[in-house]
Structure 1
Amino acid sequence: MSAQEDPATAAEHRTTTVEQGRFCAARCSCGWRGPARRARSKARSDAAEHTAHP
């Protein structure tokens, strides 16, 4: 079983998006923070990329 398939490892990486004025940023429960983006969709894709390749 790889690290991506392990439920305990996946639970450690819970991502959310946070509004910061005109910008939106992705954040993860592991402490990772994505760059501030003007497009929410880009912040969500940053979060998805992080979750896929922590």
Structure 2
Amino acid sequence: MTSSDTQPGSVDALARAADVLLLAATTALGWAGPWLPYPITIHAERDFHA
């Protein structure tokens, strides 16, 4: 992993951004869940947890 050795900061930032995006998507899904058709909600939750 030469890229992580040469640029640890950018890798950290990418990992943090991915965590924030995942959290935001999960929160939005949980908030919008009751208004969405259940098959879509369940399928999306499976994708997030996989």
Q: Normalising by structure 1, report the TM-score.
A: 0.28
* Higher-Rg member (1/2): 2
Hey, which of these two has a bigger chunk of strand by percent? 1
Hey, which of these two has a bigger chunk of helix by percent? 2
Q: Normalising by structure 2, report the TM-score.
A: 0.29
